[in-house]
Amino acid sequence: MPKILCRCNNVLNLILSPSKHGYRLVSESLIDSLYGSTEPVNDIVSKVNLSTVMVYRCDSCGRLIVFWDKQKNVPKFYVVEQPDELAASGKTDDLSGSAGGPSTLGHSPE
Ligand SMILES: [Zn+2]
């Protein structure tokens, strides 16, 4: 896999290792399992390399190209949402619940 063609037609050259485009996706459970390990560092790095998901980031459009299944070698492409797309969809980063203060539904004047 020396090259990846992004959906934006940018070619990610992966010949050099480590690749400037390459990242690893690590599960929380794997990280937890490594705390307090007495294994040699090289063994830990090997374990991480075998257990992580390869991710590449397109330096042109910012898409993440994720190889979830190492056996199939078929990537999934994740495009970056633009802030105006988030606003149009009604999604926000606010996870605190409904916005706008207390509801007036059901309120009856004295
Ligand atoms: Zn791209």
Give tens-digit pLDDT for 20-69.
999 999 999 999 999 999 999 999 999 888 899 999 999 999 999 999 99
Domain count, the chain: 1
Distance 65 CA to ligand 1 centre (A): 9
Please indicate, yes or no, if residue 89 is contained in any of the structural domains. Answer: no
Residue at 60 is within a domain: yes
Q: Would 97 be classed as within a structural domain?
A: no
- Ligand 1: centre distance to CA 56 (Å): 10
Domain of residue 48 covers: 3-83
- Of residues 72, 33, 40, 29, the one with CA closest to residue 54: 72
pLDDT in tens, 5-31: 999 999 999 998 889 999 999 999 999
91 found inside a domain? no
**Quick one: tokens of 37?**
């390990």
Which residue type, as a one-letter code, is found at position 65? I
SS3 for 98?
coil
Tell whether 35 is covered by a domain: yes
Ligand 1 centre to CA of 2 (Å) is 16
Cα 75 to middle of ligand 1, angstroms: 13
Q: Name 74's Cβ contacts closer than 8 Å, sequence gap at least 6.
A: 67
How much is the average pLDDT of 97-101? 45
Has residue 98 been placed in a domain?
A: no
